[in-house]
Amino acid sequence: MPDPKLLKIGDQLRILRVPISDLQQRDRELAENSELAGWTASSIERIIEQTPIVRVSRIDEAGAVWYDATIIGPDGMEESHSLIVYDDDTWEPL
């Protein structure tokens, strides 16, 4: 499993799949009829479909690694997202 702590700003990585926690969150939100249910998981799915290779954009004060992605949303409009790189196997370094 890759270690996000080894990443630096500007490093490239490929997003491979949606983190299980985001999929579980979507299931919960859909069951509860929450507004914008599953927004994070659905956004990551679109990132994987449209632009799976991203660059590390920043590392916050807690050491969490973040990337930014711009995609076309379901309404055809451009969306910008800033997401964390989890310590899991949902991504790979390039």
Tens digits of per-residue pLDDT, 46-87?
999 999 999 999 999 999 999 999 999 989 999 999 999 999
Domain presence at residue 41: yes
Write down the pTM of the prediction.
0.91
Bin 49: left if φ > 0, else alpha if -120 < ψ < 50, else beta: alpha
Domain presence at residue 94: no
Overall number of domains in the chain: 1
> Tell me: the pLDDT tens digits for 6-28?
999 999 999 999 999 999 999 99
Residue numbers of the domain that contains 69:
4-89
Domain presence at residue 42: yes
Tell me: pLDDT of 36 over 90. no
Domain presence at residue 35: yes
Tokens of 6: 């080894």
Domain presence at residue 11: yes
Domain presence at residue 37: yes
Domain presence at residue 53: yes
Domain presence at residue 43: yes
